[in-house]
């Protein structure tokens, strides 16, 4: 057998690796699916809070079993205690955010650190009864999965996945449009509690096996990776589950080959997957964004072309545009002309370029902004020789009602300081969105 085949096959013959693979994939599968709803609802911090609050539940379950029954705690008792701690944490977060001016994210930070601290204190006070390794709790030991942990994770995974499959449409509508969901009669609050319970179950079933850090990572990172590749929730869930499983498989092999910590290797592989997708995603990746940015034409260049053609009042040859339009490099002007022609802003003739009706309306609005800025600059005492060049730079600032504010402030003037008529305001009803909302050096 070749060295490469041996490197992949040999770990599979080991019982510890098989258990880690089964348990880790079960956790990653359900975490990836639930994580999509967590990411879309911006509940990532809640998953972190629940995972940290688990130590109080584990300590409580351990202590109760020891004091009441005189036996060491086992997975079901600690699972029940952890779930109870999660429910109490969520209830406290909701109470604080409802009855005070404290926002929910702040309440999460307060409550989860408080419950986590309570667990640490309980463990330290009753250390003769509670034998919990805090480092194991935080970092996990995926290579040392116990049979009870394995069965608990598989059972919880099956239960949570069944709930999500049965009520997928309800969760989908409540996540994207809760107002619409409420108007159709869906119990939005009940769905929120159901999702929180599902997250709690996933967290508490996985913490003892993979640790706090890994369970939070498996909830968030695969879902975020899938979010870069899909706009549909069902497809995002499939991709997230796939990325979670591949993270576990790749991470386990990585930890065996490098002789490193299992949880850290899984999370490292998961993060590397995210970074690769972040760069190469066909629509939302950094490379695709860079290519789109290269194709974009600065708004200022397009508006300068409009003004130049408007002032010529006829066909404008390309050399004239090169003379009057300021661009970072000459290639931007032909690119701007092609884009404007595609958008129906200009038409091409043998003599040059002419504004269409839509382009004329847009050009007059740029001219209106220019002359209002000239009027404003003159009113505040700007030197006459600086009025035009300064207004030429400011005319491109037309968002958030800036131009209309100037018009009101100046008393709706009809003429600029040079005696030229200021074009009236026109509604943008020709089918094109306002130019200042497009192509301003960002993605459309």
On the question of pLDDT at 107 being above 90, the answer is no
Instruction: In whole angstroms, give the CA distance from residue 201 to residue 116.
Output: 17
Does residue 111 surpass a pLDDT of 60? yes
Q: What pLDDT digit, counting tens, does each position of 257-315 carry?
A: 887 777 778 888 999 999 999 999 998 999 998 888 777 777 888 888 888 888 888 88
Grouping H, G, I as helix, E, B as strand and the rest as coil, residue 326 is coil
Highest mean pLDDT among 116-130, 204-218, 352-366: 352-366
Three-state SS at 401 = coil
What pTM was estimated for this model as a whole? 0.67
Asked if pLDDT for residue 89 goes beyond 70, the answer is: yes
**How crowded is the C-beta side of 299, counted as CA atoms within 13 Å?**
20
| Averaged pLDDT for residues 358-387 | 89
Asked which of 148-152, 303-307, 416-420 is least confident by mean pLDDT, the reply is 148-152
201 contacts 83 by C-beta, under 8 angstroms = yes
CA distances from 44 to 39, 55, 71, 115 (A): 6, 19, 36, 18
DSSP of 139-179, one letter per residue?
Answer: H--GGG--HHHHHHHHHHHHHHHHHHHHTHHHHHHHHH-HH
Report the C-alpha gap between 251 and 260 in whole angstroms.
10
Helix (H) or strand (E) holding 81: helix 75-99
Overall residue count recorded for the chain in this entry: 444
Q: Is 3 exposed, middle or buried (0-12, 13-18, 19+ CB in 10 A)?
A: exposed
| Contact predicate 199/156, CB 8 Å | no
- What's the confidence (pLDDT) of residue 45? 66
CB atoms within 10 A of CB 94: 16
Q: Give, rounded to a whole angstrom, the gap between the first and last alpha carbons of the chain.
A: 54
Long-range contact pairs involving 280-283 (C-beta distance under 8 Å, separation at least 24): 281/228, 281/229, 282/229, 283/229
What pLDDT does 281 receive? 93
Q: What domains are there in the chain, each with its CATH number?
A: 24-219 (1.10.3470.10), 299-437 (1.10.10.10)
Cα(50)–Cα(111) distance, integer angstroms = 10
Q: Which carries the bigger pLDDT value, residue 283 or residue 108?
A: 283
Express each pLDDT in 232-248 by its tens digit.
Answer: 888 999 999 999 999 98
Q: Where are the beta strands (DSSP E) in 161-306?
A: none
- Distance (Å) of CA 209 to CA 150, 214, 362: 8, 9, 62
**What is the mean pLDDT of the segment spanning 386-413?**
84
Tell whether the model's pLDDT for residue 228 goes beyond 90. Answer: yes
Give CA–CA dist 54/50, Å, rounded.
6
Of 129, 150, 179, 128, the closest CA to residue 20 belongs to 150
Q: What are phi and psi of 355, to 5 degrees?
A: -75, 140
Mean pLDDT (whole number) for 28-34: 90
Comparison of pLDDT for 81 and 278, the residue scoring more? 278
State the pLDDT at residue 56.
74
User: Do 243 and 226 touch, CB atoms closer than 8 A?
Assistant: yes
Region 64-69 average pLDDT: 68
Instruction: List the one residue out of 116, 152, 155, 160 whose CA is nearest residue 137.
Output: 116
For residue 443, pLDDT over 70 is answered with no
Residue 293 CB: number of other CB atoms within 10 A?
11
Of 275, 290, 264, 270, the closest CA to residue 211 belongs to 264
Q: Is the pLDDT of residue 138 over 70?
A: no
pLDDT at 83 over 90: no
């Amino acid at each position: 057998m070749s060295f490469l085949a041996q490197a992949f096959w040999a770990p599979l013959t080991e019982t510890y690796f098989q258990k880690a693979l089964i348990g880790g994939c079960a956790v990653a599968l359900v975490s990836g699916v639930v994580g999509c709803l967590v990411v879309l609802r911006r509940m990532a911090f809640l998953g972190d809070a629940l995972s940290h609050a688990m130590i109080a539940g584990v300590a409580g379950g351990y202590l109760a079993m020891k004091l009441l029954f005189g036996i060491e705690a086992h997975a079901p008792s600690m699972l029940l205690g952890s779930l109870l701690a999660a429910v109490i944490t969520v209830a406290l977060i909701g109470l604080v955010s409802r009855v005070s001016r404290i926002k929910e994210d702040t309440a999460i930070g307060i409550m989860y650190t408080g419950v986590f601290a309570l667990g640490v204190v309980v463990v330290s006070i009753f250390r003769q009864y509670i034998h919990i390794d805090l480092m194991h709790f935080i970092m996990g030991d995926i290579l040392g999965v116990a049979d009870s942990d394995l069965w608990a994770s598989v059972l919880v995974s099956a239960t949570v996945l069944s709930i999500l499959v049965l009520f997928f449409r309800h969760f989908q509508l409540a996540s994207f449009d809760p107002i619409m969901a409420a108007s159709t009669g869906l119990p939005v609050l009940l769905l929120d509690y159901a999702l929180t319970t599902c997250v709690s179950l996933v967290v508490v079933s996985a913490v003892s096996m993979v640790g706090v850090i890994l369970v939070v990572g498996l909830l968030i990172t695969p879902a975020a990776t899938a979010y870069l590749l899909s706009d549909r929730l069902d497809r995002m869930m499939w991709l997230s589950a796939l990325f979670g499983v591949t993270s576990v498989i790749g991470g386990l092999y990585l930890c065996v080959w490098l002789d490193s910590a299992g949880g850290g290797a899984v999370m490292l592989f998961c993060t590397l997957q995210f970074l690769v997708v972040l760069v190469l995603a066909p629509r939302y990746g950094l490379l695709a964004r860079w290519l789109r940015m290269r194709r974009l034409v600065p708004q200022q260049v397009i508006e300068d072309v409009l003004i130049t053609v408007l002032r010529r009042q006829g066909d404008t040859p390309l050399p004239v545009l090169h003379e009057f339009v300021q661009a970072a490099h000459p290639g931007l002007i032909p690119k701007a002309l092609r884009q404007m022609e595609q958008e129906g802003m200009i038409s091409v003739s043998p003599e040059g370029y002419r504004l269409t009706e839509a382009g004329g309306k847009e050009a007059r609005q740029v001219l209106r902004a220019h002359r209002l800025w000239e009027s404003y600059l003159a009113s505040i005492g700007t030197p006459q020789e600086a009025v035009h060049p300064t207004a030429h730079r400011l005319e491109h600032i037309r968002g958030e009602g800036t131009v209309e504010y100037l018009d009101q402030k100046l008393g709706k003037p009809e003429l600029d300081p040079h005696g030229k008529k200021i074009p009236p305001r026109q509604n943008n009803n020709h089918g094109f969105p306002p130019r200042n909302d497009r192509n301003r050096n960002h993605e459309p």
